[in-house]
Amino acid sequence: MKTAMIVKQYSQRARLALVNRKAQKVKLLLLGQHMNDGLVAKLILIFLLSIVAYLYLQPLFYMISTMLKSLADLLDPTVQWIPRKVDWGNLDNAYAGLHYASSLVHTLTLAVVPSLISILVCSLTGYALARLQFPGKTVFFALIFMTFLIPPQIIIIPLYVIYSKLGWLDTPLVFIVPALFGQGLKSALFILIFRQFFLSLPKALEEAAMLDGASLFRLFFRIILPLSVPACLVVFLFSFVWHWNEGYLSSMFLSHDFMPLSLRLSNLETEIFGQAPTMEMLAVNPVTEGTKMAGAFLIVFPPLLVYMIAQRWFVEGVERTGIVD
């Protein structure tokens, strides 16, 4: 009799313990050990991120939606996001107005050639800063840092005069030649990225190559550069994108014979409607809205495509090149 009681008691306790443990498991799953690694926290996190991401992408959605609206839809305030009928006319207009084919070639030249040159020159400089000993190294380092901080407004006037004397205005040379000498767009940053990457390579490699009697140049081009493909990729992608989006310098140095897409966009209205755009910031003309957005889309589309293909290296490469240690 007594034993039965005890057994019953114990089984009850065991059941309770089991329920308790289950409850704990659920709690652990939901809240995690420290409130920030449970399901609830994750859901809140994803929810927040999604809202911010939506806000972030909104202008892009706006661009695409406005681009596909016909004039009637643009004038109709009840049509907000989804056009009543998809209208490709804006794209055609913008394509013609931007002189898309030729400007695309120009912009590509402007983006690819200096980027490739930058990789070579900046990696040479970065290697010297990372691994070689020479007097005045710290001075050079400080100067490179300084070139990064100098606002372009300071040197734009002398550069304009120099380029016009050399007859480089309106040619891609204004971007290519400075890149060749390590002074291209954000070159200082690329030099620092390369330096950082080379510092993270094991020294033993270079020592071994030197012992085997390789010259410095051979060592660099045969061993170091092939090893630094990830850093080269990151630099190339950044450089490509920045050159593509560059507006300030190109608006100064390039005018009519050699026009990248970004400049064409500012002239789009004049181009299509034969009238100069009004200077009032907020005077929006619904007639041209769609066409302008189509133009903007045509400009951002190629780099977007590149990014979709290369985004894995973009984001991971930045972390892997040890840019920041």
Partner 1 sequence: MNPARLRRQAKIRYRWRSRGQAYLFMLPWMIGFCVFMAFPIGWSLYLAFQKVNLTGSGSFAYRFVGLQNFKDALLKDNEYPIQLLTFFQQMILMLPIIIVFSLLVSLMLNQKFKGRFVYRAIFFLPVVFSTGQVLTELFQQGAGNVPFLTQYGVDGYIKDNFSPSTAAMMTQLLGMMILILWSSGVQILIFIAGFQTIPKAIYEAVRIDGASPWASFWKITLPGIKPFIGLNLLYTMVDLFTFPFNPVMEQIRRNMFNVSTGYGYASALAWFYFLLIVVMIALILWFLNRTGRNKEEWA
Which residues in 135-194 contact partner 1 (CB under 8 A)? 135, 140-141, 143-145, 147-162, 178, 180-183, 189, 191-193
Distance from C-alpha of 182 to C-alpha of 119, rounded to nearest angstrom = 9
Stretch that binds partner 1, among 82-90, 96-104, 223-231, 307-315 (CB under 8 A): 307-315
Which two structure tokens, joined as six digits, stand for 229?
């493909």
Nearer of residues 78 and 138 to partner 1, judged by Cβ = 138
Stretch that binds partner 1, among 6-14, 22-30, 62-70, 96-104 (CB under 8 A): 62-70
Q: How many residues does the chain have?
A: 325
Binding mask 31-50 for partner 1 (x = CB under 8 A): ---xxxx----x--xx-xx-
CB 106 within 8 A of CB 259: yes
How near is the Cβ of 201 to partner 1 at its closest, in Å?
14
Binding mask 211-240 for partner 1 (x = CB under 8 A): -----xx--x--------------------
- Residues numbered 80-99 forming contacts with partner 1, rule: CB under 8 A: none
Burial of 268 (0-12, 13-18, 19+ CB in 10 A): buried
Determine if 209 is a binding residue for partner 1 (CB under 8 A). Answer: no
- Angle between helix 89-97 and helix 286-320 axes, rounded to 10 deg: 80
Stretch that binds partner 1, among 22-30, 97-105, 223-231, 289-297 (CB under 8 A): 289-297
Nearer of residues 19 and 319 to partner 1, judged by Cβ = 319
Look at residues 283, 260, 307 and name the one whose alpha carbon lies nearest to residue 60: 307
**Count of H helices and E strands in the chain?**
17, 0
Distance from C-alpha of 117 to C-alpha of 128, rounded to nearest angstrom = 17
